[in-house]
Amino acid sequence: MNSQEKITLGSFLLKKDGARLDPALNVLMTRLAQAAKTISHEIRNASISGNLGMAGGENPTGDEQKKLDVAANEIVLETFADSGRVAAVVSEELEAARCLDTAYPDSYILCVDPVGGSSNLDINGTVGTIFSFYRRKRTGRSQDPLAELQDRLPIAAAGYVMYGPGTILVFTGGAGVNGFTLDNRRGEFLLTQELIRSPARGSYYSANLGKYGQWDPYIRKFVDHLTGKDLASNGPYSLRYVGAMVADIHRNLLEGGIFFYPEDEKNRNGKLRLLYECAPMAFLVEQAGGRATTGRGSILDIRPESLHQQVPIAIGSPFEVDLYEKFCREGGE
């Protein structure tokens, strides 16, 4: 099937058996795709436009901001500012949520990491955008987005965009996970991976082994088990670590395995952020048949305490995530 015959994202959203999103979310996913196209263009031209390097500030959790972090955040805000359906944007790059005017009774809170893995930008490495739309229970302007999120708002849609050799948009509206690739000639996202399913188990693990000495002993035992010779499987697991959550999870979603970023000596509550990194990825991976855990319980059961709350995470194929939890239970007692 050539690109002219493939289904566009717009057509997919309108199919009765496609994403199964309500009309408001169709509009918002279309806008998200437009933001992704613009961010993709900015990333691919950053070395020419002078948009590489540091911006000179920090985000709310202390990471140094790159110029493209700031630029991508502005692209997202501008894309949804006049949608009338997003009441607030919670972003990694904003201390407080950005509240927006709504013109419709059915509105959403958007949680987004505009460019995850931005340390890869200056070396032309893979980075990604992570997003989720939470369906509000209230109408009108949002006065306190955190309080709304604490009120057990359901995730209506979530996904990621990976900017690598190609620009890939993967998302779910709660009825399966589908992947789209940007055809730069047509300026359209085309359906290239339909109803993605996580393998039951894999042979890869993704983790920042530079933190190995700072992890709790039972996490180190888990790694030693994966890489040891006593596995009653297809041999030791291979390490694959890109340093961008989107890229590492995308590999494991397609080929099987586990990504984990546990608590360490410096980050006793974990490093990655719940609302715009861990929860969206957990929702998507579980829709594909995978699992996501803190090591003690489901990521999706966590009630947010702050907009930038950090949590430990292990996510991927059911076999490896179950095994991770087993080591956490037995080693943490």
pLDDT in tens, 274-312: 999 999 999 999 999 999 999 999 999 999 999 999 999
CA distances (Å), origin 42, targets 58, 70, 77, 185: 21, 12, 15, 16
CATH classification number, 9-193, choose in 3.40.50.300, 3.30.540.10, 3.40.50.2300, 2.40.50.140 = 3.30.540.10
Angle of helix 279-287 versus helix 245-255 axis, rounded to 10: 10
What is the per-residue DSSP string for 114-137?
A: EEETGGGGGGT--EEEEEEEEEPS
Q: Is the pLDDT of residue 4 over 70?
A: no
In this prediction, residue 234 has a pLDDT band, given cuts at 50, 70 and 90, of low
Least confident of 18-32, 70-84, 194-208, 215-229: 18-32
Least confident of 146-160, 168-182, 216-230: 216-230
Residue 255: DSSP 8-state: H
pLDDT value for 232? 57
Look up residue 293 and give its two tokens. Answer: 């855990």
**What phi-psi label fits residue 262: left (phi over 0), alpha (psi between -120 and 50 degrees) or beta?**
beta
* Domain coordinates in residue numbering, the chain: 9-193, 204-331
pLDDT in tens, 96-152: 999 999 999 889 999 999 999 998 999 999 999 999 999 999 999 999 999 999 999
Q: Please report where in the chains the tokens 């849609």 appear, as a residue.
A: 157
Look up residue 131 and give its two tokens. Answer: 């997003």
**Residue 145 · residue 138 · CB < 8 Å:** no
Residue 291, strand partner residues: 316
Q: Is the pLDDT of residue 31 over 80?
A: yes
pLDDT value for 5? 82
Q: Is the pLDDT of residue 42 over 80?
A: yes
Distance CA 169, CA 8 (A): 12
Give the CATH class of 204-331. Answer: alpha beta
pLDDT value for 21? 81
Distance CA 260, CA 315 (A): 6
pLDDT value for 19? 63
Rounded to 5°, the CA angle 20-293-204 comes to 90
Least confident of 121-130, 231-240, 252-261: 231-240
Q: Which residue has the higher pLDDT, 192 or 228?
A: 192
* Beta strand pairing call for 86-91 and 98-99: antiparallel
* Beta strand pairing call for 127-135 and 54-58: unpaired
pLDDT value for 331? 77
Contacts of residue 66, defined as CB under 8 A and 6 or more positions apart, other chains included, come to 52, 53, 54, 55, 115, 118, 119, 121, 122
CA distances (Å), origin 211, targets 123, 280, 321: 22, 24, 19
Look up residue 313 and give its two tokens. Answer: 């995470």
pLDDT value for 18? 59
Closest by alpha carbon to 245, among 125, 101, 154, 141?
125
pLDDT in tens, 54-106: 998 999 988 899 999 999 999 999 999 999 999 999 999 999 999 999 999 88
